[in-house]
Amino acid sequence: MSLHGHDAHLIISCASLAQFPPNDRHEVVMVGKSNVGKSSLINALTGRKNLAYVGARPGKTRLANFFHINDELMLVDVPGYGFANRSKAEQIAYGQLMDDYFGHRKLTAMLLCVDARRGLNHDDELIIELARSQRIRFAIVLTKIDKLTQRELSLMKQTLSGYHFFTFSALKKNGVDEISEQILRWCEH
């Protein structure tokens, strides 16, 4: 099973709560450090090259992007944390947007994207705490596994043994079916 072949489109890119679309579908949010591959994951899951913007254009990545899949599921690409060169004002706007998002949406689940070369960082731990305190189901997606040797990957997997995780490469398309299936399973319950 996969999310491929479903109709997928961007509903809206939001800078604040007032712009959020209705929360009347299953909603799965992608979170993680900026540049870990969140947009690439959305593109791979939907089988679309450019649905979610990939790369470093700052404007769009400061917004929460809401995508409909087949009019049934909402996938949300929220801004990544850890932009080194963010101004104070941008940090405040970012925090507000994240608070608005997690404070006001009923979520089906969360996918936490983590660069397989780096592992969990402090911000990831905070997001995991948030998910646990709000009882949001989540799984970790280890991204860019094409950049690791088998040995490096198995060491990284060991550090995540306490977590529910998937391995993924947008380049090699590893993990797409497994992650799609998980999203669809979450939507059944």
Distance, in Å, from the CA atom of 188 to the CA atom of 26, rounded to the nearest integer, reads 9
Element at 98 (helix H, strand E): helix 88-104
Pick the stretch among 32-40, 67-75, 106-114, 152-160 that binds Mg ion (CB under 5 A). 32-40
143 binds Mg ion (CB under 5 A): no
43 binds Mg ion (CB under 5 A): no
Pick what 36 binds: Mg ion, ligand GDP, none; C-beta below 5 to 8 Å, kind-dependent.
ligand GDP
Q: Within a 13 Å sphere around the CA of 120, how many CA atoms are in the beta-carbon half?
A: 18
> What is the contact mask toward ligand GDP in residues 104 to 143, using x (rule: CB under 6 A)?
---------------------------------------x
Exactly one of 29, 31, 39, 78 binds ligand GDP (CB under 6 A); that residue is: 39
Distance, in Å, from the CA atom of 43 to the CA atom of 101, rounded to the nearest integer, reads 22
Q: How far is CA 150 from the centre of its chain?
A: 24
169 binds ligand GDP (CB under 6 A): yes
Q: Within a 13 Å sphere around the CA of 171, how many CA atoms are in the beta-carbon half?
A: 6
Q: How far is CA 60 from the centre of its chain?
A: 15
User: Which residues of this chain interact with Mg ion, rule CB under 5 A?
Assistant: 38-39, 61
User: Which residues of this chain interact with ligand GDP, rule CB under 6 A?
Assistant: 32, 34-40, 54-55, 61, 80, 143-144, 146-147, 169-171
